Chain A
């Protein structure tokens, strides 16, 4: 799925990286706990989260993610956006809640790329 399709499905606003919406991704994950992202994420290049602080960007950077979507209409600070730009991570915000945002992406074919057992 292209990031541009994700934007359309979630009715999201791109806060940085409009020129990178042609990136193609095959899986995603959703979490407000960065410890869990570090523990359980495996090759999932898109993170959906309702947590808003610079450690979200740093965690995504460590996990080689290419896009963060803030749910529930959360908007990161300009410092966070600058950090994401520096790390080449596309930033979006969408009005939907976590459950609905993840569900819509899954329904449209973007899977979690994990079996749920680890």
Chain B
């Protein structure tokens, strides 16, 4: 399979609408005929990343690359960055505000969930500049 590249803008500030990019990606992955479990894991990773972007970084961009071996998702934002990545990776740690909690998020599960559902995950972050979270989901051959 030739590498397929997809780009989805993620609007900031509107948590009600967050998740639209993930839905579109999921639909595209279904059309590609990928295994259901792979689609599910990739969709959850991107959805969590999208919610994080809207809550913490006023949006950003999701870049997705699909080839025969894996799905690579990069969630790129120009937000405030993560001062302590180790702390942010702890389940239950959250700096989300009450708006996020009212919508059922902000439980400190976003990044841990992305790690749980991916095969590899890296976080590149610079305080005051932004964050890129990259996840890989392998496609069983």
A38 touches B103 (CB 8 A): no
> What's the A-B contact tally at a CB cutoff of 8 Å?
67
List CB contacts (< 8 Å) of B75-106 with chain A: 91, 102-106
Q: C-beta contact mask, B1-34 vs A, less than 8 Å → 1, else 0?
A: 0000000000000011111001100100000000
A62 touches B109 (CB 8 A): no
Cβ of B126 < 8 Å from any Cβ of A?
A: no
Q: C-beta contact mask, A10-51 vs B, less than 8 Å → 1, else 0?
A: 000000000000000000000011111111000000000001
Cβ of B60 < 8 Å from any Cβ of A?
A: no
- For A61, give the chain B residue with the smallest CB separation: B23
Q: Taking A58-B23, A61-B23 as contacts, is the C-beta distance between A33 and B15 under 8 angstroms? A: no
Cβ of B107 < 8 Å from any Cβ of A?
A: yes
Q: Among the listed A33, A36, A62, A87, which residue makes an inter-chain contact with B44, where contact means beta carbons less than 8 Å apart?
A: A62
Q: Among the listed B17, B36, B102, B110, which residue makes an inter-chain contact with A35, where contact means beta carbons less than 8 Å apart?
A: B110
Q: C-beta contact mask, B36-76 vs A, less than 8 Å → 1, else 0?
A: 10001001100110010000000000000000000000000
Interface residues on B, range: 20 to 34
The tally of residues in A whose CB lies under 8 Å from a CB in B reads 20
B36 touches A36 (CB 8 A): no
Contact residues in B for A103 (Cβ distance below 8 Å): none
Interface, chain A (partner B; CB < 8 A): 32-39, 51, 53-56, 58-59, 61-64, 87
* Pairs across A and B, CB under 8 Å, 12 listed: A33-B107, A35-B110, A38-B44, A39-B109, A53-B104, A55-B15, A59-B19, A59-B47, A61-B26, A62-B26, A64-B36, A87-B23
- Identify the 10 closest CB pairs spanning chains A and B, nearest first: A34-B104, A58-B19, A35-B107, A35-B109, A62-B43, A39-B109, A62-B47, A51-B104, A55-B103, A53-B103
